[in-house]
Chain A
Amino acid sequence: EIVLTQSPGTLSLSPGERATLSCRASQSISSTYLVWYQQRPGQAPKLLIYGASSRATGIPDRFSGSGSGTDFTLTISRLEPEDFAVYYCQQGKTFGQGTKVEIK
């Protein structure tokens, strides 16, 4: 069974800064199946990125995904106030443990 490990656990940044979130798989996976979600407090998760690098409908272009094999990255180019949230990567039935992006 594939394990997804996200790092860091918490990222403390200021609005306008760049955020780089990592998702590492325990074995090589197809980028087709790597997905990123955003979850704001008290809300359901929201699809951000699918296929490792394709933005979901309505997702601003400050969000980008990249990677292949076992290493994947979600980048938020300039943090907006609404971007402070928890981010999860997913491959099939497995989710990473999440990275919290908090205001510094």
Chain B
Amino acid sequence: EVQLVESGGGLVQPGGSLRLSCVTSGFIFSTYSINWVRQAPGKGLEWVAYISSSGSTMYYADSVKGRFTISRDNAKNSLFLQMNTLRAEDTAVYFCARGDLRVFDIWGQGTLVIVSS
């Protein structure tokens, strides 16, 4: 069964940092590009970041560029999102989603990040 499982969310103060992880199974991780997508409470979906299968290409939403870094470890079937200089508006459920920028075919269950003092 194809699975993506996020972790690492929690409560963090404004200006703080957090590192999210997404551990995958059931498919050949190294052959797929992966994305982070977030959803603020009661709001819609917002694409955050993309990384190619090899990890050589990354894209970011303007709202997080320069603060967030996406990375992956193909040996450990894992994806990461390093989030620095967090703001209240970064509060959201963060999903990892398999796929290129055309279709996200498999999603994790999400991890909640709350940025508050």
Contact = CB atoms under 8 A, between A and B. Distances in A.
Nearest to B45: A95
Contacts of B110: 44
A44 B102 contact: no
Interface residues of B, number: 20
Contact of B102 (A35, A45, A56, A97): A35
B61 A93 contact: yes
B45 A45 contact: yes
Contact of A45 (B50, B59, B95, B101): B95
Interface string B83-117: 00000000000010100011111111110000000
Contact of A47 (B61, B95, B104, B108): B104
A88 B45 contact: yes
Interface string A31-50: 01101010100011111001
Nearest to B48: A93
Given A44-B95, A44-B110, A93-B61, A32 B102 contact: yes
A94 interface: yes
A60 interface: no
Contacts, number: 49
B44 interface: yes
Chain A contact residues (Cβ within 8 angstroms of B): what range?
A: 20 to 34
Q: Which of B45, B95, B106, B107 has the most chain A CB atoms inside 10 A of its CB?
A: B45
Contacts of A32: 102
A54 to B, nearest CB: 10
B107 A95 contact: no
Interface string A67-93: 000000000000000000000101011
Which among B61, B101, B103 has the highest number of chain A CB atoms within 10 Å?
A: B103
Contact of B44 (A43, A56, A95): A95
Given A44-B107, A47-B104, A50-B103, A96 B44 contact: yes
Interface of B: 37, 44-47, 50, 59, 61, 95, 97, 101-110
Closest 5 CB pairs of A and B: A44-B107, A95-B45, A93-B47, A50-B103, A98-B44
